[in-house]
Amino acid sequence: MSRKSIYVVFMGMALLAGCKATGAGEGELTGHYNVKFDNTKIPTGMTYIPGGRATLGLSDEDLNFTQSNPPRMKSFKAFFMDETEISNAEYRQFVNWVRDSIAVTSLGAGKAPEYFLKPRPAKGETAAPNPNINWAKVGNGSALWSSSKGGHNKDLSELYYTGEDAIPGRAEIDVRKLKYAYNYLNLDLAAEGRKDPSKSRRDFIEIYTDFPNKEKSNEFPSINVYPDTMVWKVDYSYSQNDPMVRSYFNHPSYDNYPVVGVSWEQARAFSVWRGRLYERTAAMKKLPSTAVPEYRLPTEAEFEYAARGGRNLAKYPWGGPYMRTAKGQMQANFKVGRGNYLDDGGLYTVNVKSYLPNDYGLYNMAGNVAEWTETAYSSSSVSMLADFNPNYTYNAKAGDSKYLKRKVVKGGSWKDIGFFLQNGAATYEYQDQSRSYIGFRCVYSYPGAELSYKK
């Protein structure tokens, strides 16, 4: 080969190398990647539920002969799930966040500038945007609500019970004013109206506001977040439950007990807030907005799949079929026999980490408190559901029939007989109602293929 030929070959190789190096600059497809995201990190308090398939439904008993929950095989994508029911302490974090945000907003930057971040005008703008709350300064809210001379902050008097509603000598926050307003994109509505030219994106956004427009079907009242503590009195008229009304939600002894008196609407609002709570952390870590977890209630099928703990056809989360261990200890909190409520260790609810967890590390998937699911109750929906990630959902409006407001409740509770603790058993409650025996836990869909998970 001549020197000239060698030179030509060398130049050709150099040009090819240059094309690979420049890539996108030369019109090549190189992809646009987000920042590195660790999808193997388990959110605090949650456990990983691997994808798989299981036989759902009642495989043993159907007391009412409804035939509404026959056995069927379904497949599931992986997801994260709370190890325990949401506790009083965890839900109180939500209530206090709403309380403090209302208080700071009520004071305004004029009276309490230290509780606001100083906004800067955007490029090309002269006016600064509305200031955001400085949550690092607010802390646990103790300084916000107290005065330097002792007692409560007089500037927040409008948020306390006043007049005849107040008990003399006590400064008590009016919990009726603790409302959470938020917006939520309803993908079911978006799917229905995606080809309707008269619809805009706003038509698919559910707006929970203090001033709902009754003429707009996608606007709802803001959610009152404080649990209905009167459920202990209302659910059992002829029972001395006054101490539970007064102390269950706020007494330190009950911090790690499951929150009750929370409606489906409140549980859903908590799930939305939980994701929003992480947004500030995600921004500090420079994560994309899509990396912020979208917490939600589990579907009925997800709850049952997780409760089985990988044991297909298992009657109870621990396997079954017996309610006691080999040592004679109860494996859940429920109504034993004909009404021995104390035989399992608790007259009412018990600590969220009582008894042994199932094989997925989940506590009290049967008993203690029954739990809200995302699924709307329909006795005829089973035959319509898909073979993978099955679910039927509907968010009823205030004017809808009560039958459209029914949501599936799973797991059984401290006041239920053993039948309702079965993995395949289910009942329902209305989405705007709260009970002393219904709580909830959250899930978060695993972002990626199951095989990429490394424990």
CATH of the domain at 419: 3.90.1580.10
Same domain, 180 and 254: yes
Question: Highest-confidence range of 45-59, 65-79, 429-443, by mean pLDDT?
Answer: 429-443
* pLDDT, position 151: 66
Whether 436 maps to a domain, the answer reads yes
> For 132-138, what is the mean pLDDT?
87
Range of lowest pLDDT (55-64, 88-97, 324-333, 401-410): 55-64
Whether 27 maps to a domain, the answer reads no
Distances (CA, A) of 408 to 246, 301, 393, 405: 29, 10, 10, 10
pLDDT at 454 over 80: no
pLDDT at 132 over 90: no
CB proximity list for 292: less than 8 A, separation 6 or greater: 275, 278, 279, 282
Whether 342 maps to a domain, the answer reads yes
End-to-end CA distance of the chain: 58
Same domain, 240 and 300: no
Whether 32 maps to a domain, the answer reads no
Note the pLDDT tens digit of each residue in 224-247.
999 999 999 999 999 999 999 999
**Integer Cα distance of 76 and 386 in angstroms:** 11
Q: Which of 284, 307, 331 is the last residue of a domain?
A: 284
* pLDDT, position 15: 41
Note the pLDDT tens digit of each residue in 383-433.
788 999 999 998 888 888 999 999 999 999 999 999 899 999 999 999 999
Whether 156 maps to a domain, the answer reads yes
Whether 159 maps to a domain, the answer reads yes
Q: Which of 253, 284, 315 is the last residue of a domain?
A: 284
Confidence of residue 122 (pLDDT cuts 50, 70, 90): low
* pLDDT, position 258: 98
Same domain, 267 and 327: no
Whether 203 maps to a domain, the answer reads yes
* pLDDT, position 16: 42
- Complete DSSP assignment for 169-223: T---B-GGG-EE-EEEE-HHHHHHHTT-TT--GGGGEEEEESS--TT-TTEEEPE
* pLDDT, position 19: 44
**Integer Cα distance of 19 and 440 in angstroms:** 56
Same domain, 319 and 447: yes
Distance of CA 427 to the CA centre of its chain: 20
262-278 in b/e form (b: 16+ CB < 10 A) is bbbbbbbbbbbbbbebb
pLDDT at 11 over 50: no
The residue whose two tokens read 């959110």 is: 43
CB proximity list for 428: less than 8 A, separation 6 or greater: 377, 406, 407, 408, 409
Same domain, 238 and 363: no
Confidence of residue 287 (pLDDT cuts 50, 70, 90): confident
* pTM (predicted TM-score): 0.89
Confidence of residue 119 (pLDDT cuts 50, 70, 90): low
Q: Which amino acid is at 349?
A: T
Same domain, 185 and 81: no
Report the largest interatomic distance among the alpha carbons of the chain, rounded to a whole angstrom. Answer: 107
Q: Which DSSP letter does residue 63 get? A: T
Confidence of residue 9 (pLDDT cuts 50, 70, 90): very low
* pLDDT, position 109: 81
CB proximity list for 229: less than 8 A, separation 6 or greater: 244, 245, 246, 248, 249, 261
pLDDT at 282 over 90: no
The pair of structure tokens assigned to 74 is 């379904």
Other CB atoms closer than 10 Å to residue 63's CB: what's the count?
10
Query: Of all helices (H) and strands (E), which one includes residue 305?
Result: helix 300-308
Same domain, 134 and 97: yes
Same domain, 141 and 162: yes
Same domain, 199 and 343: no
* pLDDT, position 66: 57
* pLDDT, position 21: 47
Same domain, 418 and 443: yes
Note the pLDDT tens digit of each residue in 158-189.
999 999 999 998 889 999 999 999 999 999 88
Same domain, 373 and 314: yes
Same domain, 79 and 63: yes
Radius of gyration of the chain (CA): 27
**Integer Cα distance of 223 and 208 in angstroms:** 7
Note the pLDDT tens digit of each residue in 198-224.
999 999 999 999 998 888 888 999 999
The better pLDDT of the pair 19, 307 is held by 307
Percent residues over pLDDT 70 in the chain: 87
- Counting the structural domains of the chain, the total is 2
Average pLDDT, the chain: 86
Note the pLDDT tens digit of each residue in 18-51.
444 456 668 889 888 777 777 788 889 999 999 9
CB proximity list for 315: less than 8 A, separation 6 or greater: 59, 60, 321, 422, 423
Percent residues over pLDDT 90 in the chain: 55
Confidence of residue 62 (pLDDT cuts 50, 70, 90): low
Whether 154 maps to a domain, the answer reads yes
Q: Which of 260, 284, 308 is the last residue of a domain?
A: 284
* pLDDT, position 89: 97
Determine the structural domain holding residue 146 and report its residue range.
Answer: 89-117+130-284
